[in-house]
Each structure stands twice: as structure tokens, then as C-alpha cells.
Amino acid sequence: MSEENKSYVELKNINKFYGEYHASNNVSFGIEKGKLVALLGPSGSGKTTILRMIAGLEAPDSGEIIIDGQVVNDIPASKRGIGFVFQNYALFRYMTVYENIAFGLRIQKQSNDKIDARVKELVSLIGLDGLEKRYPSQLSGGQRQRVAFARALAPNPHLLLLDEPFAAIDAKVRKELRSWLKNMIEKLGITSIFVTHDQDEAVEVADEIIITNKGRVEQKGSPIDIYKNPETAFAAQFFGQTFFVENYRDFKTFDSVEGASNAVLRPEFLKLTKKDEPKKYSVTIAKAIVQSVDFRGSNIEVTVKYKNNIFIARRTLDEAPVEVGEEVDIFVYRLLVLDGDKVHLLKNRALDEESVVI
Amino acid sequence: MAEKQSNGLVKYFLIAISVIFLFLFLVLPLYVVVTEAFKKGAEQYWQAVSDEYTVKAILLTLEATVFAVVINTVFGVFAAWAVTKFRFEGKKVLTTLIDLPVTVSPIIAGLIYVLTFGRQSILYPLLEKYDIKIVFAVPGIVLATIFVTFPFVSRELIPVLESQGTDEEEAAALMGANGSTIFRRVTFPHIKWALLYGVVLCASRAMGEFGAVSVLSGHLRGKTNTLPLHVEILFNEFQYMPAFAVSSILVVMAILLLIIRSIIEHKGKKETEIR
């Protein structure tokens, strides 16, 4: 059974410098076979560098890259058997869709019959039947992305790398493509790593997320895991919509963490009630002023000011409307307390007391 | 309304200026060349054009042009590829050096070669030993023509290659394609029209080159005289009609190249519109 837990792709203490700039700082992680993994981080966090090093387009200054039990540092990109989807697809613009997909197979000198069969199979897989003779410029963004995907898959790679696969597509098509790509990769069972700066995208598509920041890996885990138990201050603030709390002791009935005073709040950690609405935990309620009210389709986002802090809370459309300038009550269920680079998740003790009462 | 009207006035004013300018400085002289050439009738014209020395000058001009175009195309492609697809130190210096022949006066270019390969040069004993003649000989003319025209191809290619980026090449390399396959199937289709355009520019400049070639040629009639030099000699000998007749050959060659140029431009534009 130990075989199954072994990483298919492994990075060991990878360092990479661009001049003075430390693009990868002691990066280590492992990825299991068949997983769809997101490298998530703000721009300049070194995520694309990691991807390009795995592909062999860049060489690390130190450390080892292991794919399928083999150190690949000295194996050229072309021999690694990796499929790569570029950020702007890099489709060959002077070749048709058919020739784009066939390119890798022609390089391998496969027979024309085999190539034809494989290309046709992939074209129907990506749902572009009948468009084989088009040139990339005659396709929509989403179609181009599908062609790039098919082209990368054509030579049957063991590993698929995607650099910001949805960045160049407009918002509406993006949603659709995300689930398409996820289903497709699941169906094929190919180990895949994709780079993104969009947390929604990472949460929606990936089995596992690796959060990068300033050339370091901050945390690796399933989306739920990272959301629930962020390990670093960066992970706590980057993941999900967050608001900074200057002095969390303002909210009573929370345990105290030695030496820490700042915390992070998420909208779902907050309950906002109007003055005339019934409340459960009257002891621990704080007063805040409504700054703005924004309709978000399925809910209403209410921005409130509490002392020097700005929070956003959500209310459903069924609840009584609140107005700008109104004084409301906020109740905090949970807090992520920042203790240096560590994070503690605190639960409001009022909740425990109540469950004891019931 | 008033604004629109004044815009119309500006438009016609600018058009008129351009047309008058082109007529005075281009059409009129060309007209004079052709009428002067045929002043004494077609027979005299044919005699001047088919003169032994004129034919030799045409052949030498074509020879120098072919050499310059072939060598500069190869060099231009390599240089443009190196400059746009790789990162290396001294890249700025290289691109500046490529532009040098455009800024340096052709006379100076000619003198450089006379000083490098002539009698005063330290290389001269070596050249003499192996009986290599460069100055006042055909190799000198070819060298001078190459020097003067070498930026044309690479100058056309560099912006095109730059705008293309390196993604497509990287994608091809990742799939295992080697350098020549990448060039043939990915890079070349992209630069095809720009390359042809550069070749045409290079050829037209090579045919008309006077300064550098004049210094290196020594004006040996029938041996080292190119068409422009031949025109000068005829003119200096007060043989005006033949001088204009020979000039008209150059004019015809230039117009031919212009037509080829416009066709290439048109086709290239059409194709880039699709892609």
C-alpha cells in the first residue's frame, strides 16, 4: 500500500534565483498520481517558475525534481513526456486545428493512420468536430483553450501542466470551461498541475491546493482543509474573503492567545442583526455602523464599520433590509488569530455555553 | 459642420502638397531620363544598351546583388533569430552594430575596405601571397555591396519575431521538435512575408549602390564597373544619351522591384488579417 502514497511528482529543496531575485525559496512538495493540483498565489509568488522548472523550461539552481521516481534535473524538456498548456495557449498560428494537435505525433514520427485516428479522437473529445480546418485566429478563446489542451494531450503525456489556463478567457465562458476541464482531467486520470492566482478557480477545480508566496510554499492541502485550518498568516488572509481585526479582544468571550492581538474575519464568521431583531447571544454582541449595502444576486453584502475595522457580512434577501448609517449588532462566531506567522482558529465560547444549556 | 469642412480642406491641401512634391522630385526626373534616353530614336537606344561594356556592367551589378541578397538573407535570419529568441550579454551592442551601415556614409564603408585590404594594410602581404585581389576587383565590389545592405533583412525580421514571442517555439520544443523543425514549421511561416520584403529592399539597395562601390572599384571599364558607375563614366565623357539609356535600365529594374514589393506587401497583409 505504501506505493500508493508515494508522490508521483516531487520537488526537494528547490531554489531558483533570477539575478538577486529569489524566485523559489527552498520549495518542497509532493503530488500523488492522478491528482489535480493548483499552485495558487499572488503574481510574483513564484508559482509559474515552479511549473516551468517541472516542465524543464527553466533549471533550478539547487534541489531535485523527481517525476515517477526518477530525478529529471538533467533530462531536457522534450524528453520528460510532459504536456504543457501555455497561458496564452501558444497555438501554432500558421497551422490548422488538425495540424496543431497532430504536431507532437508527427515529431514522434507516428504513421499517418495513427495520427489521424488520434487527432479525430481528441477533436471529438474537446467537442470541436468540424472545425479541424480552422486556424487558431478563427476560434473563440474557449475553443483555443480546448485545442491547446488537446495538443498537449495528443502524445499521451504522464503529466499535464497548465499555466493560468483560464486567464485569457472572459468571465462567463471561464466558469463553463473550469468544470469542463475538471471533468476531462478526472475522466483521463492524468496527473495535472495548474497555476492560478484566482482562489475561486483553485477551490472549484483542484483536488489539492499549494499556496505560494514570495517564492515559498505556505501550505498544501485540500481546499476545505486550507480554508478551515490555515497554517500561516498568509494562507489565512489570502484564501477566501477576509477582513482584518486590529484588536480581537474587543470581542468578548474569546479565549486569549498570548502575545497576539490581530485577527482575521470572514463574512461567514459574522452574524448581523438589526436592533429590533431577536438575538441569541445578547451578552457578546458588538455595535457597528452600516457603511454600504450591495446587492450581490443571491444575497446582500453589508459593509459595516466597527471601531477602525471594516467588515463585510451577508444577509439573505428575505431578511429585513438595512440602511446606510444604521446601527446594527454583530456577532462573531469564529476568529482566525494571527500569532506571528502562526494562525489559531478560535470559536466564540458563547456557542459552547449555549450547547451546554441545551 | 465648420469643423468637418476645414478637415476636408486640410485633407486636400495635404494631398496636393504630396502630389506636387512627388511630381517635382520623382516623376519629372524619371520622365526626363526616359525622354533623353530615346531622344535619338529606339535604334540608338538599343545600341547604347547593348554596348559590350554596358552588358558587362549589368552582369556585374546582378552578380553583386545576388551575392549580397543571399549572404545578407542568411546573416539577417541568424542575427534576427539570435537577437529575439535568446537572452545574452551584449545584445544591445549587436543590434546597434547591425544598424551601423545605415548610419555610416557609404564612402567611408568603401575606404574601410581599401584600408583593410589595400596596399597599406598589414593583411596585404598575406593576400598577395595567395594571389587574392579584393580592392579594385570584383570581390571588393561584392564586399562593399554586402556591407551597405546588410541591415535590411534583419531589420525587417526583428520586429516580427519580437511580436511573436517565444511561446510557440517553446511549445514545439516541449513536444520534442528539434531546432530545424521548429524553424521550418513554426518560425518560418511567421516571418515569410517580412523576409521576402527584406530581400526586395536589400536587392534594390544593392543594385543602386554607388558610394562604397565607387571607392573600391577603380572604375575599370568592362571589369569592375557596375551600372551606376558606368552611368557616371558615360556622363563624365559627355555621352548624355547613352548615360540616360543606361540609367533607364536601372529605372526599369527599380520599378520591377517596386511592383514585386507591393505584391508581397498586399499578400502578406491579407494573410496576417486571416491569422
Reported ipTM: 0.73
Shared-domain flag, residues B54 and B27: no
Q: How far apart are CA B23 and CA A299, in angstroms?
A: 72
Give contacts of A56 with chain B, Cβ < 8 Å. 174
Nearest to A86 among B167, B176, B274 (CB): B167
Sequence-distant (6+) residues with CB within 8 A of B20 are none
Say how far apart CA A209 and CA B260 lie, in whole Å.
Answer: 58
The Cα A27–Cα A193 span in angstroms is 15
CB A105 within 8 A of CB A155: yes
Nearest residue to A193 (alpha-carbon basis) of A217, A159, A168, A167: A159
**Residue B145's pLDDT is what?**
92
Which conformational region is residue B73 in: left (phi greater than 0), alpha (psi within -120 to 50 degrees), or beta? alpha
Residues of A in contact with B181 (CB under 8 A): 107
Integer Cα distance of A299 and B257 in angstroms: 69
Q: Are residues B29 and B150 in the same domain?
A: no
Q: Does B34 touch chain A (CB under 8 A)?
A: no
Chain B interface, best mutation among A107, A139, A151, by max B CB count within 10 A: A107
Residues in chain A with CB shorter than 8 Å from the CB of B171 are 84, 86, 90, 92, 151
Number of domains within chain B: 2
CATH code at B115? 1.10.3720.10
Q: Which residues pair with A334 in a beta bridge?
A: A347
Indicate if B67 and B139 belong to the same structural domain: yes
Angstrom CA distances, B75 to A101, A269, B98, B203, stand at: 33, 67, 10, 15
Partners of A337 in the β-ladder? A263, A344
Domain A2-231: give its CATH code: 3.40.50.300
Q: CA–CA separation, B19 vs B13, rounded Å?
A: 10
- Domain ranges, ordered by start, for chain A: 2-231, 243-357
- Domain range for B29 is 1-37
**Which residues lie across from A217 on neighbouring strands?**
A212
Q: What values do phi and psi take at A145, rounded to 5?
A: -60, -40
User: Are B26 and B125 within one domain?
Assistant: no
Are residues B16 and B140 both part of a single domain?
Answer: no
Look at B170 and A57 and tell me if their CB atoms are within 8 Å. yes
pLDDT for A356 equals: 47
The distance of B75 to chain A (nearest Cα, Å) reads: 24
Rounded Cα distance, B22 and A14, in Å: 65
**A30-41 pLDDT per residue, tens:** 999 999 999 999
Domain A243-357 annotated CATH 1.10.1660.10: no
Is residue B131 domain-shared with residue B267, that is, in the same domain? yes
Question: What backbone torsions phi and psi does residue A328 show, to the nearest 5 degrees?
Answer: -125, 170
Residue of B nearest to A90 (CA): B168
Positions in chain B short of pLDDT 70: 1-5, 272-275
Three-class SS of chain A? CHHHHCEEEEEEEEEEEECCEEEEEEEEEEEECCCEEEEECCCCCCHHHHHHHHHCCCCCCEEEEEECCEECCCCCHHHCCEEEECCCCCCCCCCCHHHHHHHHHHHCCCCHHHHHHHHHHHHHHCCCCCCCCCCHHHCCHHHHHHHHHHHHHCCCCCEEEEECCCCCCCHHHHHHHHHHHHHHHHHHCCEEEEEECCHHHHHHHCCEEEEEECCEEEEEECHHHHHHCCCEHHHHHHCCCCEEECCHHHCCCCCCCCCCCEEEECHHHEEEECCCCCCCCHHHCEEEEEEEEEECCCCEEEEEEECCEEEEEEECCCCCCCCCCCEEEEEECEEEEEECCEEEEEECHHHHHHHHHC
On chain A, the residues whose CB falls within 8 A of the CB of B177 are: 78, 103, 107
* Residue B211, phi then psi, degrees to nearest 5: -55, -65
**Which portions of chain A are predicted below pLDDT 50?**
1-4, 356-358
Q: Nearest-CA residue of chain A relative to B271? A: A94
Closest CA relative to residue B230, chosen from B215, B241, B219 = B219
pLDDT (0 to 100) of residue A99? 94
Same domain, B199 and B166: yes
Block residue for cell numbers 480546418:
A133
- Rounded to whole angstroms, the Cα distance separating A56 from A157 reads 14
Q: Say how many Å lie between the first and final Cα of chain B, rounded.
A: 40
Give the pLDDT of residue A166: 85
Q: Which of residues 44-103 of B touch A (CB under 8 A)?
A: none
For the full predicted model, state whether its pTM sits above 0.80.
Answer: no
Give the A-side interface with B, CB within 8 Å.
55-57, 77-79, 82, 84, 86, 88, 90-95, 103-104, 107-108, 135-138, 151, 155
Q: Give me the residue label for grid cell 480552422.
A: A134
Distance between CA atoms of residues B269 and B275, nearest Å: 10
* Same domain? B1 vs B95: no
Q: From the list B168, B177, B189, which residue is nearest A107 (CB)? A: B177
Residue B174 at interface with chain A, using a CB cutoff of 8 Å: yes
Tell me which long-range contacts B253-262 makes (C-beta under 8 A, separation of at least 24): B253/B207, B254/B204, B254/B207, B254/B208, B257/B200, B257/B203, B257/B204, B257/B207, B258/B204, B260/B200, B261/B197, B261/B200, B261/B201, B261/B204
Name chain B contacts of A138, Cβ cutoff 8 Å.
274
C-alpha cell at A190: 492524468
Who among A86, A108, A155 is closest to B171 (CB)? Answer: A86
The CB-side HSE value for B1 (13 A sphere, CA atoms) comes to: 0
Q: What's the pLDDT at A11?
A: 94
| Same-domain status, B97 and B199 | yes
> How far is residue B59's CA from residue B64's CA, in Å, rounded to a whole number?
9
Q: Are residues B32 and B166 in the same domain?
A: no
Which residue in A5, A101, A23 sits closest to A63, CA to CA?
Answer: A23
Sign of CA dihedral A319, A321, A326, A332: positive
User: Do the Cβ atoms of B171 and A94 come within 8 Å?
Assistant: no
> Mutate which of A92, A161, A163, A164 to test chain B, going by most B C-beta atoms within 10 A?
A92
Closest CA–CA distance from residue A150 to any residue of chain B (Å): 13
User: Looking at residue A283, what is its pLDDT?
Assistant: 64
- Whole-angstrom Cα distance, residue A166 to residue A145? 8
Residues B27 and B80 in one domain: no
Cα separation, B149 vs A258, whole angstroms: 76
Q: Is B274 on the interface with A (CB under 8 A)?
A: yes
Closest CA to A182 of A162, A215, A206: A206
**Chain A interface, best mutation among B174, B190, B273, B274, by max A CB count within 10 A:** B174
Q: Give me the pLDDT at residue B265, please.
A: 82
Residues B114 and B165 in one domain: yes
- Per-residue pLDDT, A358: 39
